[in-house]
C-alpha cells in the first residue's frame, strides 16, 4: 500500500495550494526588473535607488494623477528567461509600467513578451519604459508601440565619440573591447563602421568580445592591447566588467585614452585612480560638473546624502517626470492613452529640452563628452577626481534616422 499513500499525499498538497488570491490594488505600480544579486547586483541596486528617490519626490508633490507611486524591485539576475518569469509576477501584482535598463538581452526578451501580453490581454496592457538598454534594434528592427527608450542608443553615442576622434590626428590605431551579447556586438559593429567612415586613415588593430560577467582578471586583455600598440581603446563594458577592466589597466600602467559609455560611475572611478586622469572619457546625458540651477544641485546633494551613492542616472528622473506629466494629462492608469500622450512629448529637464520621437519612441536629448580629471568642483565617489565636459552635443545633433515601422493598436 506504500505507493498509494504517497500519491494521495501530494495530490492533497496540490489541492490546498489552489486557493484563490488575486492582487488588484489602485495606485501606480512600477515594476523594476533588473539584476539585484550576482555580479551585477550593485549596478541594479543603484538604479532601483534612483527610481525610489524619484517616486518619493513625485509622491511628495501629490503623486501621478493624484495616485501614489510605488516602485517594486524584481531580481532577474540579468537572465532573459528569469526576466519573463519576473514580468509575469509583476503583472500579477498589478504592475502596469515595467522599467528595465541593465542588459539588452533582457530588454529584447521583455519588449517581445510585453507586446505579446498586450495583444493577448486587451484591457490589461503594460508599458515598457527602458532607461539604459541601448541595443539600437529596440527602436529600429524590433521597435514596438509599447516600448519607450529614455537613453541614446549605441549608434547615437558612438557617433558622438567618433566625432571627437575625427580631430585627434595623433591617434592612429584603435582597439575595441566589448561584452559578447547583443549590446557588445552592436557596439563593435558601430565602432568599426563609424571609424572607417570618419577616420579612414585609422587602423583597427583589435576587436574582441569577452563573456559578460565571467572574466575576473582583465590583465591578459590589457596586455593584448598593449602589444597591439593601440593608441585608443573603445569599450562598451559596464558594471563589474568595467570596474575590473579599469583595475587591470591601472595595474599594468596602460597610458592610452579609453573611450567608454559607462566609465563614469558605479564603482569604475574608485578603481581608476590617478593614472586614469585625462585618459578616460565617457559620453553621457549627465555628469555632476555640468552647471545647472542651484535647486538641481541641491537635489543632487540630497540624493547622494540619502543614498550614499553618486547621482548618476539623470534619465531616470526624466523618465519618471515625463510619465508623471502623461498620467496627469490622462487622469487615470489607461495605458494605451498614456502611451499616445508620451509620443512626441517634449519636456524641460534641468539640462535642456528633450523630446520623445513619435515614430520610434526614442528620446532625443543633449549628450556630453567628458574626461576624468583633477581639480574639479564636484568629485565622483569621493575619489578627489571628477568629470569635466569636453564637448556638449545639442539634442538635434544626436538625432539619427530610424528604420522602425511600428504597428499602432487600432
Partner 1 sequence: METVVFALLNGLIYGLLLFMLSSGLTLIFSMMGVLNFAHASFYMLGAYFAFTLGQHTGFWFALFLAPICVGAAGACVERWGLRKVHARGHVAELLFTFGLAYVIEELVKIIWGKFAVAYEIPPELNFSLFKLFGSQYPAYRIFMLVVSIAMLAGLWYLLKRTRIGLIIQASLTHPNMVAHLGHNVPRIFMLVFAAGCALAGLAGVIGGNYLVTEPSMAFSIGPIVFVVVVVGGMGSLEGAFIASLLIGFLQTFAISIDSSFAEIFSFAGLSADGDVGRITIASLAPMLPFILLVLMLMLRPRGLMGEREF
Partner 2 sequence: MTDYSLDRVPDLAPSARYKFATRVLPLLLLALILLSIPLFEPSRTWLSLFNAIGINMVFALSYNMLLGQAGLLSFGHAVYFGLGGYAAMHGMNAIENASYDGGIWAAFPMFGLPLVGFAGGALAGALIGFPSCRRSDVPFAMISLGIAELVAAAGFMFISVFGGEEGITGDRMNGIELFGLSLGPLGDVYWFIAFWTFVGVALMYAFTRTPLGKMAQAVRDNPERVKFVGYNPNRVRYLVFIAAGGFAGLAGGMSAVNYEIFTPESLSVIPSGLVLLMAFIGGARYFAGPILGAVVLTYMQSNLSDYSEAWLLYLGLLFIGMILFAPGGLAGLLLSGTAALKHSLSVKGLLRVGAFASSALLAAAGIIVLVELAVRYSNGFGEAFEPFGLHLAPDQMMSWVVGLVLAGVGIGALKVLSKQGGMGS
Q: Which residues bind partner 2 (CB under 8 A)?
A: 1-11, 13-15, 17-23, 79-81, 84-85, 88-89, 91-93, 103, 105, 108-109, 112-113, 116, 120-121, 180-182, 211-212
Q: Which of 254, 281, 287, 315 binds partner 1 (CB under 8 A)?
A: 254
Residue 88 CA to residue 134 CA, distance in Å, equals 23
Count Cα atoms within 13 angstroms, Cβ side, for 92: 10
Q: Which residue has the cell 541595443?
A: 135
Which residues fall within 8 angstroms of residue 137, CB to CB, at 6 or more apart?
108, 182, 186
- Nearest-approach distance from CB 84 to partner 2, in angstroms: 6
The listed partner (partner 1, partner 2, none) that binds 109, CB under 5 to 8 Å by sort, is partner 2
The listed partner (partner 2, partner 1, none) that binds 223, CB under 5 to 8 Å by sort, is partner 1
Q: Which of 140, 179, 240, 362 binds partner 1 (CB under 8 A)?
A: 240
Does residue 246 belong to the site contacting partner 1 (CB under 8 A)?
no
The listed partner (partner 1, partner 2, none) that binds 18, CB under 5 to 8 Å by sort, is partner 2
If the CB atoms of residues 39 and 352 are measured against partner 2, the closer one turns out to be 39
Does residue 208 belong to the site contacting partner 1 (CB under 8 A)?
yes
32-51 positions binding partner 1, by CB under 8 A: 36-39, 41-42, 45
Which run of H or of E encompasses 297? helix 294-307
**C-alpha grid cell for residue 361?**
519612441
> By C-alpha distance, which of 125, 218, 229, 122 is closest to 173?
229
Residue 334 CA to residue 331 CA, distance in Å, equals 8
Torsion of Cα atoms, 120 then 121 then 124 then 129, to 10° = -10
Does residue 220 belong to the site contacting partner 1 (CB under 8 A)?
yes
Cβ-contact 348, 379 below 8 angstroms: no
If the CB atoms of residues 156 and 204 are measured against partner 1, the closer one turns out to be 204
305-324 positions binding partner 1, by CB under 8 A: none
The listed partner (partner 2, partner 1, none) that binds 9, CB under 5 to 8 Å by sort, is partner 2
The listed partner (partner 1, partner 2, none) that binds 60, CB under 5 to 8 Å by sort, is none
Q: Which of 27, 66, 211, 344 binds partner 1 (CB under 8 A)?
A: 211
If the CB atoms of residues 211 and 331 are measured against partner 1, the closer one turns out to be 211
Residue 135 CA: distances (Å) to CA of 190, 194, 223, 233:
11, 16, 29, 20
182-198 and 104-120 helices, crossing angle to 10°: 120
Q: Which of 81, 141, 214, 405 binds partner 1 (CB under 8 A)?
A: 214
Q: What is the CA radius of gyration of the chain?
A: 23
Residue 184 CA to residue 356 CA, distance in Å, equals 25
The listed partner (partner 1, partner 2, none) that binds 91, CB under 5 to 8 Å by sort, is partner 2
Residue 91 CA to residue 97 CA, distance in Å, equals 9
Residues that bind partner 1 (CB under 8 A): 36-39, 41-42, 45, 180, 206, 208-211, 214, 216-217, 219-224, 226-227, 240, 244, 251-254
Amino acid at each position: 500500500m506504500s505507493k498509494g499513500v504517497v500519491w494521495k499525499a501530494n495530490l492533497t498538497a496540490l489541492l490546498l495550494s489552489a486557493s484563490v488570491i488575486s492582487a488588484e490594488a489602485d495606485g501606480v505600480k512600477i515594476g523594476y526588473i533588473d539584476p539585484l544579486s550576482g555580479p551585477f547586483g550593485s549596478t541594479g541596486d543603484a538604479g532601483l535607488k534612483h527610481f525610489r528617490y524619484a517616486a518619493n519626490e513625485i509622491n511628495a508633490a501629490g503623486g501621478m494623477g493624484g495616485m501614489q507611486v510605488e516602485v517594486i524591485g524584481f531580481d532577474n539576475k540579468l537572465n532573459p528567461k528569469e526576466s519573463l518569469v519576473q514580468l509575469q509576477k509583476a503583472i500579477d501584482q498589478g504592475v502596469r509600467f515595467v522599467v528595465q535598463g541593465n542588459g539588452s538581452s533582457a530588454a529584447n526578451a521583455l519588449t517581445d513578451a510585453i507586446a505579446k501580453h498586450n495583444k493577448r490581454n486587451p484591457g490589461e496592457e503594460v508599458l515598457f519604459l527602458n532607461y539604459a538598454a541601448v541595443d539600437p534594434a529596440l527602436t529600429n528592427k524590433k521597435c514596438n508601440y509599447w516600448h519607450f527608450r529614455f537613453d541614446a542608443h549605441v549608434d547615437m553615442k558612438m557617433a558622438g565619440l567618433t566625432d571627437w576622434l575625427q580631430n585627434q590626428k595623433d591617434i592612429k590605431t584603435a582597439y575595441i573591447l566589448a561584452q559578447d551579447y547583443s549590446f557588445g556586438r552592436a557596439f563593435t559593429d558601430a565602432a568599426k563602421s563609424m571609424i572607417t567612415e570618419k577616420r579612414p586613415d585609422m587602423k583597427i588593430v583589435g576587436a574582441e568580445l569577452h563573456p559578460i560577467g565571467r572574466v575576473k582578471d582583465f590583465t591578459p586583455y590589457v596586455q593584448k592591447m598593449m602589444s597591439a600598440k593601440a593608441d585608443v581603446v573603445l569599450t562598451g563594458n559596464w558594471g563589474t566588467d568595467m570596474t575590473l577592466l579599469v583595475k587591470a589597466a591601472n595595474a599594468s600602467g596602460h597610458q592610452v585614452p579609453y573611450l567608454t559609455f559607462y566609465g563614469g560611475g558605479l564603482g569604475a572611478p574608485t578603481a581608476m585612480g590617478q593614472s586614469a586622469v585625462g585618459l578616460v572619457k565617457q559620453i553621457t546625458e549627465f555628469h555632476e560638473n555640468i552647471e545647472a540651477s542651484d535647486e538641481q544641485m541641491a537635489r543632487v546633494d540630497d540624493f547622494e546624502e540619502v543614498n550614499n551613492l553618486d547621482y548618476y542616472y539623470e534619465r531616470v528622473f526624466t523618465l519618471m517626470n515625463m510619465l508623471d506629466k502623461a498620467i496627469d494629462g490622462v487622469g487615470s492608469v489607461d495605458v494605451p492613452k498614456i502611451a499616445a500622450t508620451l509620443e512626441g512629448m517634449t519636456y524641460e529637464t534641468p539640462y535642456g529640452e528633450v523630446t520623445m520621437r513619435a515614430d520610434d519612441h526614442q528620446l532625443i536629448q543633449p549628450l556630453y563628452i567628458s574626461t576624468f580629471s583633477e581639480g574639479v568642483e564636484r568629485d565622483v565617489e569621493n575619489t578627489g577626481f571628477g568629470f569635466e565636459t569636453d564637448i556638449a552635443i545639442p539634442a538635434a545633433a544626436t538625432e539619427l534616422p530610424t528604420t522602425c515601422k511600428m504597428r499602432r493598436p487600432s
